[in-house]
Structures are given as structure tokens and as C-alpha cells.
Structure 1
Amino acid sequence: MTPKFAPPDTRAIPVRIVTSAGFDTWLGTQDEVVRDWIQANGFDGGAGQILRLPAPDMSVARVLVGWGAAKDRARTRFLIAKAAEQLKSGTYTLDGDLTANELEEAALGWLLSAYSFTRYKGEAVDGAQLKAPKGIDASRLEAIAAGECLTRDLINTPASDMGPAELETAARNLAQAHGAAIHVTEGDDLLDANFPMIHAVGRASNRAPRLIDMNWGTEGPHVTLVGKGVCFDTGGLNLKPGASMGLMKKDMGGAATVLGLASMIMTTGTRLRLRVLIPAVENAVSGNAFRPGDILTARNGLTVEINNTDAEGRLVLADALALADEAPADLMICMATLTGAARVAVGPDLAPFYTDDDALAMALAQAGKRVRDPLWRMPLHRPYETMIEPGIADLDNAPSGGFAGSITAALFLDRFVKDTPRFAHFDIFGWNPTAAPARPKGGVGMAARAIFDALPKVLDT
């Protein structure tokens, strides 16, 4: 789906946004009939309240939406989207004393509130439409919403219909839409092309592993996005229990997120040279599955002892990162649904990230706060590198002990990036476990909007 604002000449019903603190003052400016109606219905500007004000012919003249107090807005992103979801139909325009950032958040949240995943059940329903508020870049917000919806669709699609080949098709469709070049290395050709760990992880499945390599743009700074595309993760021979396997269709959430981010970049015509690398595999079980105790040699020559076949994401990413590092970009971003340790640390809502670049970290954090796409910087704590050095090989893919699992995974990936000057790794969840305004339960993009917002500042420094 492609969320759009209503045409500018459409007749629209005003939506007045009222805070709790400003309610009494605002109410005093209304005529007596309106005041009586508001008070009779108990509206006081509380967060998420909605009240339709009738015209003399009983049609809807205006809609009031409660924006609550500052603490309510801090606790709930896209609060205005709650109104859009309740209004269900019609065309509206926003009215209220909002800052530029608040207005942009409200408008984007309204667009995203229209998202629903209907591939297997139901039909898409036209919801309440919004006229683009004055002062915002409507086409940019539409591009952001479209990229986010692409990410959600890809994650929500079950592995039966979203294997490595289907993920490749999604990338090819995106490339075709924007005139990007795409090259795919598949199956045993991965060995000839020196992607041994992507091949090792994916060879047990009858759905061939592959490396997707997409390039777009001819001018400007060079940006490489690398996304983990494990389309389903059984855990391999270290088989996951059933409860842990239930959500593993989302283990390609890193790939889905970088495709959504790439869509934002290309749709808006951002001046840069973009490369997207996705190692797409299914971690399956069969007689030729890679084994605990195996030692694999990565693309860059580092040897890796396999102490858990369920720590496969870092293996396929390692080959892709090593390839990217051979042609260093000005900025490289890695995104992966990599560790449960990250969820224990920060929960499902925050996107933890790792970088040694303080200026990059600050730009990302500021952008995340500005666009309400929350991030949290985690430490690349070098003393923990001894945990990923097993002695029998250069690296250990699953250090024993259970401590600092997200950090050691990030340190593992960092070994494959040596020549790229600016690098950040995101250990995302890619799933919203509880419905929230503009964010239904299911697949969700994390950090893409923040990265997109930060790019101009990052690439200018």
C-alpha cells in the first residue's frame, strides 16, 4: 500500500488539537452552545479524547482531539493517529498550535494509521484522509510512509511466501521502480564468488541462499546498507524450541528495514550513491547443515568456530560486510534482528546501535528524538573482545557464559569492517508486540526514519 494525503482542493473537516493545559483558555473562546456540548460530553483535552462537534444540519462541523499533557505525549508516539483510527472515514485538516516537528509527527502518524496487512484476510479499507498541513514536505512524508509500509509488509509475510527468492523479488521490484542496478549471486555460485559463510548457513535449505547487491545513484556521498535476510530461522542443528521459533518469519527484519530505507532514499531522490547488500538465507535442518564445532573461513580470511548454529545471522552478515569493506563507503549501516540480549537490555521499542564514531552517534540519537524513532547507543566495549576469541580459530560465533550477548555480536561484526571510515550496527527487533497508534501489532520498521533524517548532517561532516 502507498499512503497518500488527500488532494489539496478536497473539502475537509477541521480537526482542532487541544492540550490539557490549554483547554480552559481555548474553551473560553467558544460560543455557549459549543461550550455546553463539550462539557456535556466530558471532553477536557485528555490524551486521545475525540469529540465531533455537530453543525446545525447534524453533519460534523469540527472534530476535537485531546493532546493531553506533555507527559502523555512523551509516553505515546503518534498520538494524533489515534484520532485518525477512530474517525475511520472522511477528509480532515489539522488545526492547532503545533511546532514544526509536532506537525510532521502528526501528519506522518496519520498516514501510517492507514496501514493494514490484508494479504491473507480482509480487504484494505479507505480510512480517514488528511490534507497535507501547510509547512510540511508532503511528498517526503509520503515517501517515508511508503518505505515503512514496505518494511511492514515484508516482515508480516510468512516464510512460506517470503523465502530468499521472494526477498530477491522484492528487491528487484524496488530496483526496477527506481532504475537501480541489481546483481544476485545464488546457490553454489556463492562459493565461487567467495561468500563461504552465506553458503554454509543457507545450504541445508532447498531454498537456495543468495547475496543481493543493489546499486543506485551516480553522484554524491557513498552509503552502503547491509541487512540480515534470514527468511526463517529454525536454529539449525541447535534447534530452537517451538516457542522461540514462532516469530522467526521476522528474522529478515534487517533486510526489510534497509529496503524500506532504500525506498525512502530513492523516492525522494536524495543525492548520494547507494548500495544495498542483503545475504538472504533460510537456516534449516538437513544432512548437510553446518554443525556445532565446525570452523568456517569467512570472505576476508578470518576463521570462525561454530559453537551454536542458532547464531547464524552474524555469519551471513560477516561475508556481506567484508564485501562492502572492499569498496569503502563514506557511511555503512548494518541492520539485523540479531540477538535476544538486545531485547532484554532495551525491550521491543528501542533500536540499540553500536558505533565508535561519537559524531555519528550523536547525529543518529538527535534524529531519533526529533522524528520519534527512538534509538539507544550501546558500548563497543573492547575488553569483551576476548570473549569472541576461542583460541582454536580467530573468532567464536557464540561465546559461552551468556554475558553481553548483543555487545559481543557487535564486536564480532566489527572485525569485518576495517577500511570503512564510518560504521554503525543496529540490533533491532522489527516487531511491535502490542498495538499502538500508527503501529499495529506485527512487523515494524526501526531506526530507518532516524537514519534517513540524519543522513544530510552525517554526510556533510
Structure 2
Amino acid sequence: MSVLIERKTGDRQSIAIETTDIAHFTAAKRRLTAAQRQWLAAFGFEAAPGTFAMLPDEGGKLVRVLVGVDPSDPLSALGALPRTLPEATYHLAEHGVLKDTLQAALGWALGAYEFTRYRKARRAPAKLAIDADQLATLQPLVEATTLVRDLVNTPTEDMGPKQLAEAVKQLGKAHKAKVREWVGDELLEANFPTIHSVGRGSHRAPRLVELTWGKATDPKLAVVGKGVCFDTGGLDLKPADGMRWMKKDMGGAAHAIALAGLIMQAKLPVRLQLLIPAVENAVSGESMRPGEVITTRAGITVEVDNTDAEGRLVLCDALAYASEQQPELIIDFATLTGAARIALGPDLPALFANRDDLAEKVLAAGRTVNDPLWRLPLWRPYRKMLESYLADMANSGASRHAGAITAALYLERFVPETMPWLHLDTYAWNDADRPAHPRGGEALGLRAFFAFLQKRYAR
């Protein structure tokens, strides 16, 4: 059951939550009874962000909660409350200092998330009653974020290439979309050689899944997601600490699947193509070897400098295929580089774009919905870092400089210059619990891109 529910007119059962800060705390206390003010003093509550105080009436019944917040961060303001307040239904009081109640309610819902596939929930979360129009706006976003988190949190034994493809099929069934896939050697027959090369070392067959939806007369939009369900690094094997969380290397695919669901649920007027190359980068006698040269779908020959730079290999065939359909925009999501995390940290995805106007619109959308991104440049002089002595290019180079940029430059080679393209290098993970952001899989950039598309394709 959702933790966000519709607030009914005249409802006296829900408990009021009043948000306040140090500057408005005195005014908030004036609205309390003398006994409640005395309780606050004894409790030591001073409205610091991240603190709260539960206020009883004369009979000891909980009737109000004062919450200290930072008004500049509405998304986190209530994110810790669903699992710390008593199980009940609450509503936001009219005197609160948070003006963006929509973001506050979203933070509440995101903070209530718990992954329960392998253990029971610790407790039922508290519910927040909100207006019907807010509920209609937020519920799809909450469900999409939950989908990303669930897909990323699921270990690889239960989220291999086949299961990831099944998630696309379920989405297609729900929205009456067309889904097809190429599995194993079918990839070679259909000219997707790099996807096959990366995934051939696993006992789980690699595949490419395609979902199409919408009217043929509407603008074509391609959404691509990196679906490396586990990344050992291949023969260029990762160390143990680098491999530990590689179940999340399909986080780009999770974002792409969730975004496609939002697009279809909102019935945006587009002809949608979703592409998920799904593989496991494993070690076996069949594994791709360093030094091999692959002729990609686009006809560009690529020398495999490092088998651990596999994400760009599975994406390049999918991007080439998407380009053949002549969409008006291509978007790809990928947990592509550690370099992006070193540059920007875990909470700020790196955005690359071959159109300045598109980049600015996506960044603006992210600011509007509290889903920030940061643009990095497609600095073309760095293409020389991907030079090969015997092929058109290499998938990586000897230098560790500008790793996120060189990865994006690799992908750019497979998108025609005439075609608008946006690439997001996202972490898809929270390393620790924070309000509204539980530890584990996370949607980073999803809401920004959906807000951008909503505005772009508004009727």
C-alpha cells in the first residue's frame, strides 16, 4: 500500500506535521498550549534540521509533530519520518515553513522505501495524506523510483540478462507495447557483435531487448540503457572491492526502463524506442580477450584495450541501431565510469550532450525537480586518448585522465553529428542511508529527464 494517500476534506483522523526552522520557531511555539511548550523545553527541541518533537494533548494522545527543516532542501526535509514516527496517518499543517510541499511529500515517499525481497520489512511506514492532484503527480514518480531501486538492489542470480529482459516485457505488456529480443548467437546474425563479445563469456546468454510504443506519426525518441547485470571486469579482472557491488552495473538499464514507463504512463506524444543490451561480463574460456578487434555494427573497428571498459561496447551497437531509426533525440543512461564519481561524487550524475540548448534544458529541469545533474564537456582533443595502432579506435587508453569524458567521446562516435544526443553517467546507488535516500539502488537523473521530456513534448 502506498505511503502517500489522498487527504479527504474534513479529515480529523490524521496528525498534523508542522515544519519549522530556527528563524520561525518562536512563532510556531505561540500556536501551542502551555503544556506543549513546556514539553518542548523539557525535550530540548530547538528546530534544528533533521530533528522532530511529538506533541500530545491533555490526554496524552499524539496530536502534532514539530519538525525542524532546512527550507532550501524540501526533498530531504521529511525523508526520515516514515520510519521513525509512529505508524499513523499524518498531514502537513498550513503554518509550515516548507513552501514546496510537493517535493516534501515526494521525499516522504522516497524515504519510506525498503527492499523486502529477501527479508521482511522492519515495520510498516507511516502514511502522509496529501491533496488528490499532488498524489496524481507524485505516484508515478514514486513507482518509477521504486522500480529502479528494486532492479538495482536485486542480486545477479535473480537479475541476470534474462530477468532484465523480463522486466522490459512486463512493461510492454502493461502498456500494450511491442517487445522483441535477440539472444545469444542471434546477436551475431542480426549484426550486434560488440554486445555478443562482451556477454559470450557467461553461461547466461547475452541479449538485446527492444520495446516500441506510440504512434508512427509522432516524433521518434530512443532511450538506451546499459544492462551489464554483473561486471567482473572480464579477463582484466577487478579486485574484490571493485567487484563487490557490480550487481548495480545495470543501473543505466533500470533508469531507461523506468523512464520508458513514465513516458508511456503519461502518454507523451512520442514514438518510443527502448533498447536494453543485457549481458554479464564474466570470466571463462569464451571471454573476450584484451587485444581483440571487433567490427562494430556501425562498421567502426574497435581494439579491446581493456575488457573492463565493457559498458561502452554494449552501448555502441545499441546506439548505432537507434541511430538507424532516425530519431529526433537519443538518450542513454549508464553506470559507465568511476571517473565520473571521482569528479562529481556519488550524488551528482555527469551529463554529456552534443547540443548546448538540450543540455541547458535538462539541467534546468533537474534544478526544478531537485534532481541535480552536472554537465561535463565532450572535449574532442581527448579523442587521441582512444587511438589504436591497428584499428579505428580503442575502447580505452593508457591514460587515466578524463575517464568520463573519453568514455562519452567513445559513445559519441556511434551517433551521427546531425542527431541530438544526451548521455548520463550515473552512479545509481546510495553508499549510506540519508533522508529520502536509503542505502542501495537509487534513481539519479530519472526525474530530471522525465521533467525535461514532459516540457519538450507537452501538447
> How does the TM-score come out when normalised to structure 2?
0.94
Give structure 2 stretches of 5+ with no counterpart: none
1:167 alignment counterpart = 164
Give runs of aligned pairs for residues 310-325 of structure 1, distance below 5 A. Answer: 310-325=308-323
Contact residue 19 and residue 98 of structure 2 kept, 8 A = no
Contact residue 236 and residue 284 of structure 1 kept, 8 A = yes
- Structure 2 counterpart of 1:319, which letter? D
CA drift at 1:101: 6.9
SS in 1 for 2:435: coil
CA drift at 1:153: 0.6
Contact residue 19 and residue 97 of structure 2 kept, 8 A = no
Q: 1:58 aligns with which of 57, 60, 68?
A: 60
1:103 alignment counterpart = 101
- Structure 2 counterpart of 1:41, which letter? F
Query: CA distance change for structure 1 residues 88 and 54 in 2, over 3 Å: closer, same or farther?
Result: closer
SS in 1 for 2:79: helix
Offset from partner CA, 1:186-210 (integer Å, 9 cap, x none) = 1101011010100111111110000
Contact residue 222 and residue 329 of structure 2 kept, 8 A = yes
Instruction: Give the stretch that moved more between structures: 268-277 or 201-210.
Output: 268-277
Instruction: Give the stretch that moved more between structures: 265-274 or 180-189.
Output: 265-274
> How does the TM-score come out when normalised to structure 1?
0.94
Matches of 2:264 and 2:97 in 1, distance apart? 28
Matches of 1:171 and 1:183 in 2, distance apart? 10
CA drift at 1:21: 1.1
Q: 1:229 aligns with which of 227, 230, 234?
A: 227
Matches of 1:250 and 1:101 in 2, distance apart? 35
Are positions 1:158 and 2:160 aligned together? no
Matches of 2:17 and 2:54 in 1, distance apart? 9
Query: CA distance change for structure 1 residues 420 and 117 in 2, over 3 Å: closer, same or farther?
Result: farther
Contact residue 56 and residue 63 of structure 2 kept, 8 A = yes
1:14 alignment counterpart = 16
Query: CA distance change for structure 1 residues 289 and 139 in 2, over 3 Å: closer, same or farther?
Result: same
Matches of 1:24 and 1:205 in 2, distance apart? 64
- Structure 1 counterpart of 2:395, which letter? N
Q: 1:27 aligns with which of 20, 26, 29?
A: 29
Give structure 1 stretches of 5+ with no counterpart: none
CA drift at 1:277: 0.4
CA drift at 1:448: 0.4
Query: CA distance change for structure 1 residues 351 and 174 in 2, over 3 Å: closer, same or farther?
Result: same
Matches of 1:118 and 1:244 in 2, distance apart? 25
Are positions 1:47 and 2:46 aligned together? no
1:145 alignment counterpart = 142
Offset from partner CA, 1:218-257 (integer Å, 9 cap, x none) = 2643321100000011111111111111011011010011
2:328 alignment counterpart = 330
- Cα-Cα RMSD: 2.0
Q: 2:412 aligns with which of 414, 417, 430?
A: 414
2:301 alignment counterpart = 303
Matches of 1:270 and 1:240 in 2, distance apart? 41
Contact residue 115 and residue 150 of structure 2 kept, 8 A = yes
Q: 2:209 aligns with which of 208, 212, 218?
A: 212
Offset from partner CA, 1:13-52 (integer Å, 9 cap, x none) = 1111112211112323434333222222222221111111
Matches of 2:34 and 2:223 in 1, distance apart? 58
Contact residue 75 and residue 104 of structure 2 kept, 8 A = no
Matches of 1:175 and 1:101 in 2, distance apart? 38
- Structure 2 counterpart of 1:142, which letter? Q
Contact residue 354 and residue 378 of structure 1 kept, 8 A = yes
SS in 1 for 2:67: strand
SS in 1 for 2:158: coil
- Structure 1 counterpart of 2:54, which letter? R
Matches of 1:105 and 1:42 in 2, distance apart? 28
Query: CA distance change for structure 1 residues 309 and 64 in 2, over 3 Å: closer, same or farther?
Result: same
